Structure 1
Amino acid sequence: MRESFHDDLKRLNGRLAAMAEAAAEAMRRATQALLAVDLPLAEQVLSGDADLDDLRATCEDEAYSLLALQAPVAGDLRAVLAVVYCAEKLERMGDLAAHVAGTARRGHPEPTVSADLEPVFAELGEVTSAMADRLADLVRGEARGGYAELSRADERVDALHARVMATVTSPDWTHDQRIAVALSLLTRFYERFADQAVSVAKRLEFAATGDLPG
Structure 2
Amino acid sequence: MREVFQQELREVQDGLVEIATLVAQAIDKATRAFNESNVSLAEEVIADDHLIDQRAQALDELAITILARQQPVARDLRITVSALRISASLERMGDLAMHISQLARYRFPDKVVPKSLRPTFHEMGALDVEVARQLVELLRTQDVTIADEIRNKDDQVDELHLSVFEKVLGETWKGEATATVDATLASRYHERFGDHAVSIAQKVLYLATGDWVPEPA
TM-score, normalised relative to structure 1: 0.94
Which deviates the most, 79-88 or 118-127? 118-127
Q: Which residue is 1:83 aligned to?
A: 83
Asked if the contact 1:35/1:118 (under 8 Å) is kept, the reply is yes
For 1:49 and 1:158, locate their aligned partners in 2 and report how far apart those are by CA, in whole Å.
25
Q: Which residue is 1:139 aligned to?
A: 139
Query: Which runs of structure 2 are paired with 1:1-214 in the superposition (5 Å)?
Result: 1-214=1-214
Asked if the contact 2:35/2:111 (under 8 Å) is kept, the reply is yes
For 1:56 and 1:142, locate their aligned partners in 2 and report how far apart those are by CA, in whole Å.
20
Which deviates the most, 67-76 or 193-202? 67-76
Asked if the contact 1:52/1:91 (under 8 Å) is kept, the reply is yes
Asked if the contact 1:146/1:202 (under 8 Å) is kept, the reply is no
Which deviates the most, 120-129 or 79-88? 120-129
For structure 1, the residue ranges without an aligned partner over 5 or more in a row are none
Q: Deviations over 1:6-40 (max 9, x none)?
A: 22211211110111111111111111111111112
After the TM superposition, which segments of 4 or more aligned residues of structure 1 sit over 4 Å from their partners?
none
For 1:64 and 1:58, locate their aligned partners in 2 and report how far apart those are by CA, in whole Å.
10
State the 1:116 CA deviation: 2.1
State the 1:155 CA deviation: 0.6
State the 1:47 CA deviation: 0.8
For structure 2, the residue ranges without an aligned partner over 5 or more in a row are none
State the 1:145 CA deviation: 4.0
Which deviates the most, 4-13 or 80-89? 4-13
Asked if the contact 2:138/2:147 (under 8 Å) is kept, the reply is no
For 2:23 and 2:119, locate their aligned partners in 1 and report how far apart those are by CA, in whole Å.
21
Asked if the contact 1:158/1:191 (under 8 Å) is kept, the reply is yes
State the 1:210 CA deviation: 2.6
State the 1:207 CA deviation: 2.2
State the 1:174 CA deviation: 2.4
State the 1:148 CA deviation: 3.0
What code does the residue aligned with 2:131 have? Answer: M
Structure 2 CA distance for partners of 1:51 and 1:76, relative to 1, 3 Å? same
What code does the residue aligned with 1:159 have? Answer: E
Query: What secondary structure, in the 3-state scheme, does the structure 2 residue paired with 1:123 have?
Result: helix
CA-based RMSD of the aligned residues comes to 1.4
For 1:59 and 1:204, locate their aligned partners in 2 and report how far apart those are by CA, in whole Å.
17
For 1:33 and 1:149, locate their aligned partners in 2 and report how far apart those are by CA, in whole Å.
26
Asked if the contact 1:147/1:213 (under 8 Å) is kept, the reply is no
What code does the residue aligned with 2:34 have? Answer: L
For 1:157 and 1:137, locate their aligned partners in 2 and report how far apart those are by CA, in whole Å.
20
Q: Which has the higher contact order (CA 8 A, sep 6+)?
A: 1
Asked if the contact 2:142/2:204 (under 8 Å) is kept, the reply is no
What code does the residue aligned with 2:179 have? Answer: I
What code does the residue aligned with 2:31 have? Answer: T
Number of residue-to-residue matches in the alignment: 214
Asked if the contact 1:34/1:113 (under 8 Å) is kept, the reply is no
